[in-house]
């Protein structure tokens, strides 16, 4: 019996070992499997291969419905008062990878964030997205 790689990766996404889960999430995200989204968002927040995780989220965001779910998940993390400044900045940077109006609107709202670094990051990302 032949086991399919996607089935193994999906199984690994539930592994107790964070490094196994994260590797699976990156591989699944690169293949457009939206089940990886929660783990990828967590990786951005936790600074665990956050740049690669943001890239994978960008790949998943090729589907507009998934893009909206990603923006919602990232926004929910930003709303967590316990999230430190560094994590808020990484989440803001991850929004740069997500196309569409939901990400743009979230970034626009972040330009007025009380954390100057987050506000400047959001402003910079918007400038990159919409060159004037």
pLDDT in tens, the chain (132 residues): 565 888 999 999 999 999 999 999 999 999 999 999 999 999 999 999 999 999 999 999 999 999 999 999 999 999 999 999 999 999 999 999 999 999 999 999 999 999 999 999 999 999 998 765
The answer to whether residues 52 and 23 touch, using CB atoms and an 8 Å cutoff, is no
CA distance 51 to 9: 20
Looking at residue 3, what DSSP letter applies?
A: P
Give this prediction's pTM: 0.93
- Residue with structure tokens 């990878």? 97
Residue 2 is predicted with a pLDDT of 61
């Amino acid at each position: 019996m032949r086991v399919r790689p996607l089935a193994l990766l999906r199984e690994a996404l539930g592994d107790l070992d964070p490094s196994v889960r994260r590797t699976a999430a990156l591989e699944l995200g690169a293949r457009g499997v939206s089940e990886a989204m929660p783990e990828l968002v967590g990786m951005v927040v936790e600074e665990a291969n956050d740049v690669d995780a943001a890239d994978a989220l960008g790949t998943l965001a090729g589907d507009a419905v998934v893009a909206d779910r990603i923006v919602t998940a990232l926004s929910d993390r930003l709303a967590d008062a316990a999230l430190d400044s560094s994590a808020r900045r990484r989440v803001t940077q991850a929004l740069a990878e997500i196309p569409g109006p939901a990400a743009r609107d979230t970034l626009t709202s972040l330009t007025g964030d009380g954390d100057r670094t987050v506000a400047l990051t959001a402003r910079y990302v918007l400038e990159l997205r919409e060159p004037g």
